[in-house]
Amino acid sequence: MRGVLIDIDGVLTVSWRPLPGAVDALAWLRRAGYPLKLVTNTTSRSRRWIADTLVDAGFDVSIDDVVTAPVATAAYVAEHFPGARCLVLNSGDISEDLAGFDVVTDGAPDVVLVGGAGPEFSYDALNTAFEHVRRGARLVAMQRNLFWRTDAGLQLDTGAFLAGLEQAARVEADVVGKPAPSFFASALRLIDVAAEDAMMVGDDIESDVLAAQRAGLTGVLVKTGKYLPETHARADGTPDHVIDSFADLPDLLGSMR
């Protein structure tokens, strides 16, 4: 392995507090010289906020190490729908990462952007998105995770609502974050490592691990965060490696040399 992509939530942290051994394991990767990126579907926080919070928690990272779904979505919309009027349905402030967008709150948008779920995903908000998509607005999702883990337990995420929107409006969303192959490819370009020489470490067997394996990476599933034995058993494939936590990654990499 020459490079490592690492999910954040559920792998390095839960509710932004570091998991046992995660800080030391990331420091080991730095000392060993592995190029890395932290790739996250988190849409409730800006890229800068994430980097600053990880630094405060003791991680040796910078803003350039963080690749987020909102940043990838901004680039995707700019390329495919330049000048589009965008309605954003998201929980949290990511305005910094969507700078330059024509974000609208009324009228007819060209694109409906769906981010992370939360209180903002009310019936009225979802119904408004449904109406716009039925009228022809493009549906773009920053991610489609079904749930995520906080210190309060598992919480519903975007995928639970996005599936309903797609079925009701009879459309398929353009998904930009994980598990989209383009998301992994763009992160690999940033570290200049080929897929066959890189691994993806995540707690979501479908969106993190198996999706990365389909994109040519080695997949490593950690038994922290949103990991559930029943989800693992029902998965559409088998992870290349399964470890108890990110703290065990140095030993895994050492065994692969």
pTM equals 0.85
The predicted pLDDT at position 222 comes to: 98
CA dist 245 → 9, 49, 191, 249 (Å):
12, 24, 24, 7
Tokens representing 73 are 């979505």
Residue-wise pLDDT tens digits, 141-158: 999 989 888 888 889 999
What value does the mean pLDDT take over residues 222-248?
96
DSSP string, 89-133: E-SS--GGGGTT-EE-SSS--SEEEE---STT--HHHHHHHHHHH
Strands 111-114 and 138-141: parallel
**Cβ 69 vs Cβ 177: under 8 Å:** yes
Is the model more confident about 18 or about 75? 18
Residue-wise pLDDT tens digits, 13-68: 999 999 999 999 999 999 999 999 999 999 989 999 999 999 999 999 999 999 99
The predicted pLDDT at position 150 comes to: 83
User: To which H or E segment does residue 193 belong?
Assistant: none
Query: Rounded to an integer, what distance in angstroms lies between the CA atom of residue 39 and that of residue 181?
Result: 13
